[in-house]
Amino acid sequence: MPEHVLEAVDLRRTFGTVRAVDGVSFTLPEGGSLGIVGESGSGKTTTARIVVGLEQADAGEVFVRGTPRSGGARGRAQRLARAREVQMVFQDPYLSLDPRTSADAVLRETLRLHFPGTDHGLRVRELLDQVGLGKRAADALPRELSGGQRQRVAIARALAVQPDVLVLDEAVAALDVSVQAQILNLLADIRQQTPIGYLFITHDLGVVRCVTDQVIVMRHGSVVEAGATSEVLTAPQHPYTRLLLQSVARPGWDPERITAARRGL
């Protein structure tokens, strides 16, 4: 069995004269959580899109459980199988959800696409329960849900195909602090219950502190620092990382609220 559920090797992507991703490599173990941190334009989102398959790398390779993801999938079955390996949760779930489709219907449609010929009622209820949504929210349209509820639907949809890796691109950035705490707690619980690996894309080291084991810091397309999250955040070696750490403290944000929310305080 491969040592890592996800491995990126020397990824490179250029747009015109801009090196958006320049020699990025990392690994993610099964059940692990890796943060990719950097400001806008650092290359972190382009890296994530290459991992998912939304962007094609100019060079380098992405492996899931030792199998390369480069090259076109042949036929519908292979495309669906490729999609089941890695799923992505975006920053704004309202834009990624069909405004005419309820949460329940979104999950049923996803399950029918990937696992045809099965009654999916029980699995839909399991997914909704896993992300903390009741029947009232399940029957609602996206416009009738709060931002946190919509993000829970997006997470449930991604989990429906039982991916090896879940890529979360600024998945809590658009939410207020209390809702951020709820979603981060939810992700922590899911990680305890399943072998899924997280690739967390964010500009916020405060969030990374709460949800990741390892972190890489990107600037201008390159990795400037990498290591265990606790070590990087406690004793950053690169001045850019120290600069990002200064942006963690902001009104209303306190990592301890994550712990307090978990305890029901």
- pLDDT tens sequence across 17-38: 999 999 999 999 999 999 999 9
Is the pLDDT score of 128 beyond 80?
Answer: yes
CATH code reported for the domain at 6-263: 3.40.50.300
Give the separation between CA 222 and CA 204, rounded to whole angstroms. 18
Identify which has the larger pLDDT, 104 or 74: 104
Beta strands in the chain (DSSP E): 6-15, 18-28, 33-37, 59-64, 67-68, 86-89, 165-169, 197-202, 214-219, 222-228
Q: pLDDT, tens digit, for every residue of 189-247? A: 888 888 899 999 988 888 888 889 999 999 999 999 999 999 999 999 999 999 888 77
Q: What mean pLDDT, rounded, does the chain reach?
A: 87
DSSP alpha helix (H) spans, 160-251? 177-193, 205-211, 229-234, 239-246
Domain ranges of the chain: 6-263
Q: Rounded to the nearest 10 degrees, how much is the dihedral formed by the CA atoms of 231, 237, 242, 243? A: -140
Length of the chain: 265
Predicted confidence at residue 72, as pLDDT, reads 61
3-state class (DSSP) for residue 171? coil
Q: Count how many Cα atoms sit within 13 Å of the Cα of residue 128 in the half-sphere of its side chain.
A: 21
